[in-house]
């Protein structure tokens, strides 16, 4: 059973590259960086476009729905804030509405709040917002939603031998 993170033990320090991301998160809006010149999108925020090296940047508001591209179950956390949550799932989530022309996906890592039972590569998720005490900051996490019929799902569990990996 997945517990909860003690966010009171984490002092978030936005930097110039991420402060707008965190400000939007407070309003429960999920932003990814976008290039004003070539249109590339990426995460985490960085000061120049990884594709064309432009410093001409903007933000793209993601719709907050994605698919788990990979995940890990953390059984023992060395971070005090995360100890009460263990075992917990960190999911790497791909955002289809942020897909790039060159095929490079936009992916965000975050907690999967439903725990290990719900985790799987290919599982559909939507953003869920976790708030630190006293409204200090808001963090995007993920919740599983209905995965489309027929979509391949791969789980790392006892069923592994009978599961099929997505193509
Ligand atoms: Zn660019």
If you measure from the C-alpha of residue 34 to the centroid of ligand 1, how many angstroms do you get, rounded to a whole number? 8
> Global pTM?
0.89
Convert the pLDDT of each residue in 28-64 to its tens digit: 999 999 999 999 999 999 999 999 999 999 999 999 9
Weakest mean pLDDT among 50-59, 118-127, 157-166:
157-166
* Coil/strand/helix, residue 97: helix
If you measure from the C-alpha of residue 60 to the centroid of ligand 1, how many angstroms do you get, rounded to a whole number? 13
Kindly provide the b/e burial profile for residues 8-18, where b requires at least 16 CB atoms within 10 angstroms of the residue's own CB: eebeeeeeeeb
If you measure from the C-alpha of residue 62 to the centroid of ligand 1, how many angstroms do you get, rounded to a whole number? 18
If you measure from the C-alpha of residue 68 to the centroid of ligand 1, how many angstroms do you get, rounded to a whole number? 26
Domain boundaries, the chain: 7-156
């Amino acid at each position: 059973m997945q517990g909860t993170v003690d966010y009171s033990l984490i002092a978030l320090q936005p930097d110039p590259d991420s402060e707008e991301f965190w400000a939007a998160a407070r309003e429960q809006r999920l932003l990814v960086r976008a290039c004003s010149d070539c249109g590339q999108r990426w995460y985490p925020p960085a000061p120049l476009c990884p594709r064309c090296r432009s410093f001409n940047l903007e933000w793209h508001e993601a719709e907050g729905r994605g698919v788990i591209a990979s995940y890990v179950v953390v059984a023992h956390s060395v971070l005090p804030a995360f100890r009460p949550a263990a075992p917990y799932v960190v999911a790497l989530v791909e955002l289809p509405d942020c897909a790039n022309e060159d095929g490079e996906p936009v992916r965000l890592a975050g907690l999967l709040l439903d725990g290990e039972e719900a985790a799987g590569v290919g599982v559909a998720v939507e953003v869920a917002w976790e708030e630190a005490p006293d409204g200090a900051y808001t963090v995007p996490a993920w919740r599983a939603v209905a995965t489309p019929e027929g979509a391949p799902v791969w789980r790392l569990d006892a069923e592994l031998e009978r599961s099929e990996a997505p193509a």
